[in-house]
Amino acid sequence: MTVNSLLFLAFLAGVFLLYYVLCPVKYRWLALLAASVLFYALACLASPLYLLAVSVVIWIAGMWIDRLEQECKEKIGADKAMSAALKKEYKGKKKGVLITAVVISLGILLVLKYGGFFVELGNRLTALAGFTLPVPDFAVPLGISYYTLIAIGYLVDIFKGKIRAQKNYAKLLLFLAYFPQMTQGPINRYQPMASQLYEGHRFDYHNFSFGCQRMLWGFFKKMVIADNLQPVMQAIFADFEQYGSVSCFLGCVYATVWMYADFSGYMDIVAGASELFGIHIAENFTRPFFSRSLAEYWRRWHISLGNWFRDYMFYPLAVSKPAAKFGKQGRKWFGVRVGKLFPSLFALAFVWTCTGFWHDASWRYILWGFANGVIIMGAMVLEPYFDRAKKALHIREEGRAWKIFSMIRTFLLVCLLKVFPGPANTAESLRFMGKLITGFRLPAGWQEILPGVGMGDAALLAVAVVILFVVDIIQERQPVREALAKRPAAVRWVCYLFLVVFILCVGRFQISSSGGFAYAQF
């Protein structure tokens, strides 16, 4: 079910009563487990089968790796002279278990989500031979991209000795399937989540009020801004040939704001819902539109995914033997300074290609990931030249004018990159890029600025976007909820009622369980 539906609110109310009224504190984690399984089963009856398969594999592999680690320590204690050899032997055994479990988990994901892409690619390569395979049309299980990464991170942390394996399968299943994180993340880590999920919490009015506030803010972002911007953006991308380049670029701007309001709105709703139970999930956004570079933007956007790629892919790749060889060649070709960057560039290129592919099994998202990686890598290589230019022009990096310029530049760059995922397919993305370059024409009328939106609705939408950015500006300086809590009750309730009225008058509410969020498809 989608979290902006009446069904979800009814579901959440039921879980709240079950957790605090019907369950003893010691067993309240079981209420969350039952709710999570039900939440997942309501999405699709077949989906839990894949979740169970992955969770069982990860559970067995985690305990196996943990047992090998303890066995190694016991043998070293008995024969310290053999410690180096024993560590090497057991590390190989643990790595074998880890690789097997990761291959199985990723294999399920690759077959279900990317099977059609690989078959199509194979058919293109074998077309000259005169045979093709039927393209499978799998129903992708809800949240599989998220819980697979959560599961792999958990297993790698056990392998590295950061955590001990969870022996209770039901508790591990709760960690993987916790319903607020299920459909769009965040990609939580085991260590900060385990005690929160399993200890059982007593009702706390502070958590309750702050959770409701955050959910209300998320509903405002999603239902007032995202859901009203989406048809405007889609109208431009779907029929971009009839628009000039200015309108097409506005479509990219709308897509950027829509995605932020949609995805961060979801995160606010589920983070608030989780806070009702005293559980604080990982933050996924820290006001990305205030970023001064593309690299900073991605450190502020989908933070849990970026951290996952950084810790489990970028760092291991950057210190790997292929990266070292690449760095050695780089020093030969381009000198010491640039050559030192080559291991990082090698890892970044791979990570950003995977990031694009993770979002969708299509060339347009692979191109989008590649373009982001090229820009970030280019900035790393050219950084000394940029510094010299700023010094020659007497630009103060900490000056207000340069900060504002850097933020606007980064925002426009992020908008331009929407040329890849915005249109329906790769061919249209390329044509859309051509339209931006060669089709300069000012909008002929209001319908080429905000197609399908009247002047009154446009004014309300503009007010909502301004409110969004004003709150983000305040949040950059101080936590908004804490600041609001210090205000008189009358002020607080005026703010709440204003948002409620705005949502009821302008928002698009999901009465059923259908409809949803952009990142749910990833």
Chosen domain end from 203, 233, 263? 203
pLDDT greater at residue 187 or residue 43: 187
48: containing domain: 6-203
- Cα 475 to Cα 411: distance, rounded to the nearest angstrom: 18
Q: Are the C-beta atoms of residues 267 and 285 closer than 8 Å to each other?
A: yes
Residues 435 and 447 occupy one common structural domain: yes
Alpha-carbon distances of 3 from 29, 43, 161, rounded to whole Å: 21, 12, 36
**Of the given ranges (234-243, 321-330, 488-497), which has the lowest mean pLDDT?**
321-330
Chosen domain end from 344, 374, 408? 408
What does 330-368 look like in DSSP terms, one character per residue?
HHHHH-HHHHHHHHHHHHHHHHHHHHHHHH-SSHHHHHH
Residue 466 forms part of a structural domain? yes
Write down the pLDDT at residue 120: 80
Residue 418 forms part of a structural domain? no
Alpha-carbon distances of 390 from 382, 396, 398, rounded to whole Å: 13, 8, 12
Write down the pLDDT at residue 129: 66
Residues 236 and 118 occupy one common structural domain: no
Residue 401 forms part of a structural domain? yes
Write down the pLDDT at residue 424: 86
Instruction: Label residue 510 by pLDDT band (50, 70, 90).
Output: low
Write down the pLDDT at residue 516: 67
Residue 397 forms part of a structural domain? yes
Question: Has residue 495 got a pLDDT over 50?
Answer: yes
> How do residues 125-153 score in pLDDT, each as one tens digit?
776 666 777 777 777 888 889 999 999 99
Residues 310 and 264 occupy one common structural domain: no
Residues 140 and 60 occupy one common structural domain: yes
- Cα 518 to Cα 512: distance, rounded to the nearest angstrom: 17
Residues 107 and 48 occupy one common structural domain: yes
Residues 227 and 176 occupy one common structural domain: no
Residue 288 forms part of a structural domain? no
pLDDT greater at residue 94 or residue 85: 94
Chosen domain end from 203, 232, 250? 203
Residues 13 and 133 occupy one common structural domain: yes
Residues 48 and 150 occupy one common structural domain: yes
Specify the number of domains making up the chain.
Answer: 3
Residues 223 and 126 occupy one common structural domain: no
Write down the pLDDT at residue 521: 62
Question: Has residue 512 got a pLDDT over 50?
Answer: no
Instruction: Label residue 206 by pLDDT band (50, 70, 90).
Output: very high
Please state the separation of Cα 293 from the chain's center in Å. Answer: 19
Residues 125 and 26 occupy one common structural domain: yes
Where does residue 255 rank: exposed (0-12), middle (13-18), buried (19+ CB within 10 A)? buried
Question: Has residue 52 got a pLDDT over 60?
Answer: yes
Residue 120 forms part of a structural domain? yes
Write down the pLDDT at residue 369: 94
pTM, to two decimals? 0.93
Read off the tokens for 94.
Answer: 């643990």
Spell out a b/e string for 321-335, using b for 16 or more CB atoms within 10 Å of the CB, else e.
eebeebbeebeeeee
Residue 287 forms part of a structural domain? no
**Of the given ranges (2-6, 178-182, 452-456), which has the lowest mean pLDDT?**
2-6
Residues 390 and 480 occupy one common structural domain: no
Residues 211 and 195 occupy one common structural domain: no
- Compute the C-alpha angle 23/24/28, nearest 5°: 60
> How do residues 376-411 score in pLDDT, each as one tens digit?
999 999 999 999 999 999 998 889 999 999 999 999
